[in-house]
Amino acid sequence: MTALDDLCQTPFHDADAPARARILSRLADTELSVALMAEPAGDTVDLRIFDLPGARVALAADEESRLAGFLGGPVAYAALPGRVLAAMLRAEGVGLLLNPGAPSEMLLDAQTLGWLETALASAPVPDEARLAAGPPRSDTVAALAGPLAERLADLRGMIAGAALAGAGEGHVLLIAGAEPARQPAIAKALSETLAFLPPQPGGVDIGFAETPPPAGALLFDLTPPPEPAPAPKPPKGPPILR
């Protein structure tokens, strides 16, 4: 089972809109093996295109073995992040058949790939405004807590903690412990995640702060998992009698 399989407890095409958006968000960050006509020549790849009723698609999988298994033997392929492959295919008007026969099987047309590309273009707008922060709305917590926890877990080691708080008419996601040089990339990654989630009244801003989180904020625990305890030493043998 892969990360995409885990998200597809309900098949992609039967899932509701928020679930499909979360799957596509994970797809964007997944390295995919896409079938080629021949081994890559330098920076040039010749995608293997399949003609389906009403669509032309490329074939890809989140594990190379799945690609070979579906095609019945070794296959030339290129490994590309999902976001890169989606942009390439959308530009050519080609769809994507992903993981055929697996729990995360999906057929994405060019329009869906265009929506994905638009969502990935989301970026935060720098703002120095200061708003009084307090507890987040319960419906916002219900909609965002799980997906944000997954995304923030990917950033463990880059940030020390995070908190979701209400702020003005909307909300703010406060990040602590991020190096200044990394803050733009972290903000972009979180902005992308929010673009795949249900819109919240007043929106959700992203901020960086080293002060204690506001009272009542939803805290995300990013403490590294404890080191495994050392294996106990085997007991000494019985004493030797002389």
At 180 the three-state DSSP class reads helix
Mean pLDDT of 6-24: 90
Mean pLDDT of the chain: 85
Predicted local distance difference test score (pLDDT) of residue 239: 47
Predicted local distance difference test score (pLDDT) of residue 98: 95
The full DSSP string for 20-45 is HHHHHHHHHTSEEEEEBSSS-BTTB-
- Give the DSSP H or E segment for 95: strand 95-98
Model confidence band, residue 229 (pLDDT cutoffs 50, 70, 90): low
Predicted local distance difference test score (pLDDT) of residue 242: 41
Model confidence band, residue 241 (pLDDT cutoffs 50, 70, 90): very low
Assess whether pLDDT exceeds 50 at residue 129.
no
Assess whether pLDDT exceeds 70 at residue 228.
no
Cα separation, 234 vs 231, whole angstroms: 9
Most confident of 42-51, 104-113, 233-242: 104-113
Mean pLDDT of 170-180: 91
The pLDDT tens digits of the residues spanning 76-124 come to: 999 999 989 998 898 888 999 999 999 999 999 988 898 888 888 776 6
- Give the DSSP H or E segment for 139: helix 138-154
